[in-house]
Structure 1
Amino acid sequence: MSDLRRSIRQTLTIARRDFIATVFTPIFLLFLFAPVIMGSFGAIGGMGAASVADGGGGDKSRVVAIVPSTLAAPIAAADARLRGGFRPDEAPPALLTTAPADDPARQAHAAFDDHRYEAAAVLYGPLDRPTILYGARGSRAADYLALLAQTTLAAQQLGGTLPTVAATKRPIVRGHATPGGRHQSAFFAVFGIFFLTLLLAGQVVGTMAEERNNKVIEVLAAAVPLESVFLGKLLGMFGVALLFVAFWATVVSQVSMLLPQSIAAGLHDLAPAVGAPMFAVLFIAYFAMAYLLLGSVFLGVGAQASTMREIQMLSLPITILQVAMFALSSAAAARPGSWVATFAEIFPLSSPFAMAGLAANAPALWPHLLALSWQLLWVAIFIAIGARLFRRGVLQSGSARPFRKRAKAN
């Protein structure tokens, strides 16, 4: 058997061993359904925040118009007309009209102390020169009251009502990707790879520490070159990540069929420059490269840790590194062709993120062939460096011959 075939076989044996040891355990089910658990906690937190907001008087917020009784009906009609242009969650607070007293200014100030409602903004005075008071976070409500006064005044000047416009609305589907759609696709590609690697790549850190504690790594190092051990473990954990992604991709693809037509039409505008099928292929390829690059770095760093405490201490710099790569690649996706984009596309750890964004922004395919080759080269470099550091620092065998010479000797 040739040296190359022996190395491949040893690597795949290690990968199969780690994959089976990870997947065929009850704990893997908790890992597989981790997004559901996190989503449940997020939903509980959102429900709690909503209940606090409701209990704090969010549904009692009002915009108050102190106007004569003859203007109550016209201003209410103008309010009903204007609210038709707002989404339910963006509409201003409900309108409350009240007749002016002897001192409207004092009455307006007193409205903010009324316990029956929470005044966001209060209007008083003539509609062509109104005075509007507003409290904290009430500037938009004040703008709405000014627009309401203008609409009511225009309706009065036109004989009491504004003309009705019967508009015909027809949705269209663009035949090509827009610049805004490409930029949004680039950001979602960067964020998608970042989220998946943040969720999945960190588990590589503890694989070597576990092997060190039970002394299995010494047996493996005696029978298999460390480079094969590192690559095999990395491929095994990548197989776990692929299983996780395949499971949730299937779930999301089925759920997306139930989305409302308006949301589905909005997603259609997120058209990448290289086309949806090629973009899907490149996204998978760059996710693989991002996982292998970051995983090889984490594997080499985590191999230096021997206890869970040391692994926990390594988690913070690892997370900071991932967030930094996400920030750099997001800036590159927002400014394609700039020096920031060029640096992010060349720097090994940010290259998969930035190139995924480039696939959404530019139609050329040849840069991706170069980028994938460049990233594979750095995966090999990081694995070689990690194995060398582990051999010298942990196994205390710094005088050992390099892998190439040991392979020839065998």
Structure 2
Amino acid sequence: MSSLARLIRQTLTIARRDFVATVFTPTFLIFLFAPMMFIGLSAVGGGAAASISKSGDEKARVVLLASDEQARVAIAADRQLRKMFSSLEQPARLIVEKPGANPEAQGRAMFERKESDTYAVMYGPLDKPQILHSINGTRSASYLAALADQVLRAQRAGTAAPLSEATKIVVTRPGASAGGRGQAAFFATTALFMISLLLAGQVVGTMAEERSNKVIEILAAAVPLESVFFGKLVGMFGVALLFLGFWGTVVVNVGSLLPTKFATAFIDVGPAVGLPMFGLLFFAYFATSYMLLGAVFLGLGAQASTQRELQMMSLPITIFQVAMWGLASATALDPDSWLATAAVAFPFSSPFAMVARAANMPEIWPHLLAIGWQLLWVAITVTIAARLFRRGVLQSGSPGLRLRKRAAT
């Protein structure tokens, strides 16, 4: 058996060992379903926030001090104006009251009421109305000004009913909108960052465990350290693929079961290259991002002799990776800027920037160049990390595989 074949066989043996030792344990199920806990906590927090927001919306109001005739027209005009707003952008509820002897004092007193939150009060003649508003009620004041204008128009026309009735025709876009492509770029960049950091970080955990129980020394005595390094990297990459495949299947199937109304909210969101090609590119960039980050974690993790040292070394890497994600996210909406070009050229931010480019721009050829560029840096990073791994495990700059093989012969 040639030395290359022996190295591949030993590498795959280590990879299978790490894969089985990680996957066939009860704790892996906890790791696999960890996103469910995150989703559950997010749902609880989102429900609490929605409940608080709903409670606040029920108490929020804008007030119009007007006579009975103006009140009737204002209510009809308010009903028409609100059709232009989505459910999340609706102005505060309109309350109409009769003006007293001192409308200004009456309006100011409404801001002192404890049972409601008054954002704006309008009184006086509607051609030159006076509007009182709180510091955060500027939008409500603008709405009341538009309402006064609409009421005057209705009074001059002699009717509060709409003067025209438009026919609305739904047109389907041939592809995602420009804003939808930007949203897809941001979502894809964030997803790639999260899964890369989450899954690549598992390499450090296995490294710390085997350094503490001396297993790494037994492996180093049995097979070349290059096989141990590559085996661990490949084995944990297999775990990452299992994790990604499981949750990818869940997302696809859950997406097909969503209500039509929910699905139409994301109808304009999509990648410029199309979903099938985008899926392939996302996987390719995940692989390069994982290998870059995993090799760095594994190489530097071998230098730590204690768990505390390991945590201290992991923190700067994590902060650096967050900075790379921030750089790529900042260029997600402007892929032609010089900052985007810099993010594409820098190897550690390149996977994030290119997956954003795939969502924004339909050209395929830049991705072929980018993947080749990233694979070159994967080879450089893995080579450097493997040497750091050897020095960390043996605590010396001992000879490489070639001298070990010569001594064996």
Bucket of the pairwise TM-score, normalised by the shorter protein: over 0.9
Cα distance in structure 2, aligned partners of 1:260 and 1:305: 50
C-alpha deviation, 1:407, in angstroms: 4.7
Cα distance in structure 2, aligned partners of 1:168 and 1:344: 47
C-alpha deviation, 1:192, in angstroms: 2.1
Q: Does 1:403 align with 2:371?
A: no
C-alpha deviation, 1:237, in angstroms: 1.3
Q: 1:364 aligns to what SS in structure 2?
A: coil
User: Is the 1:227–1:383 contact (alpha carbons within 8 Å) kept by the matching residues of 2?
Assistant: no
The equivalent of 1:307 in structure 2 is 306
Q: RMSD between aligned alpha carbons? A: 2.2
Cα distance in structure 1, aligned partners of 2:314 and 2:307: 11
C-alpha deviation, 1:271, in angstroms: 4.0
The equivalent of 2:207 in structure 1 is 208
Q: Does 1:29 align with 2:37?
A: no
The equivalent of 2:113 in structure 1 is 114
Give the direction of change, closer, same or farther, for the CA distance of 1:369–1:404 in structure 2 (3 Å limit): farther
Q: 1:123 aligns to what SS in structure 2?
A: strand
The equivalent of 1:43 in structure 2 is 43
Q: 2:125 aligns to what SS in structure 1?
A: coil
Deviating more after overlay: 276-285 vs 363-372: 363-372
Give the direction of change, closer, same or farther, for the CA distance of 1:327–1:22 in structure 2 (3 Å limit): same
C-alpha deviation, 1:139, in angstroms: 1.3
Deviating more after overlay: 370-379 vs 133-142: 370-379
5+ residue gaps, structure 2, are: none
Cα distance in structure 1, aligned partners of 2:154 and 2:348: 62
The equivalent of 1:287 in structure 2 is 286
Letter in 2 for 1:44: V
Cα distance in structure 1, aligned partners of 2:370 and 2:407: 35
> Map of 1:272-351 to 2, 5 A cutoff?
272-351=271-350
User: Is the 1:154–1:162 contact (alpha carbons within 8 Å) kept by the matching residues of 2?
Assistant: no
Deviating more after overlay: 163-172 vs 125-134: 163-172
Give the direction of change, closer, same or farther, for the CA distance of 1:280–1:342 in structure 2 (3 Å limit): same
User: Is the 2:332–2:356 contact (alpha carbons within 8 Å) kept by the matching residues of 1?
Assistant: yes
Cα distance in structure 1, aligned partners of 2:231 and 2:261: 46
User: Is the 2:64–2:96 contact (alpha carbons within 8 Å) kept by the matching residues of 1?
Assistant: yes
- What CA deviation, in whole Å up to 9, does each residue of 1:211-247 have, x standing for no partner? 1111111111122222221221111111111111111
C-alpha deviation, 1:408, in angstroms: 6.0
Cα distance in structure 2, aligned partners of 1:93 and 1:16: 61
C-alpha deviation, 1:409, in angstroms: 5.8
C-alpha deviation, 1:134, in angstroms: 1.1
C-alpha deviation, 1:297, in angstroms: 0.8
Letter in 2 for 1:206: G
User: Is the 2:22–2:239 contact (alpha carbons within 8 Å) kept by the matching residues of 1?
Assistant: yes
Q: 2:322 aligns to what SS in structure 1?
A: helix
Q: What is the percentage of aligned positions where both structures have the same residue?
A: 59
Letter in 1 for 2:170: P
Give the direction of change, closer, same or farther, for the CA distance of 1:48–1:261 in structure 2 (3 Å limit): closer
Cα distance in structure 2, aligned partners of 1:93 and 1:269: 29
The equivalent of 2:18 in structure 1 is 18
Give the direction of change, closer, same or farther, for the CA distance of 1:384–1:226 in structure 2 (3 Å limit): farther
Q: Give TM-score, length-normalised by structure 1.
A: 0.92
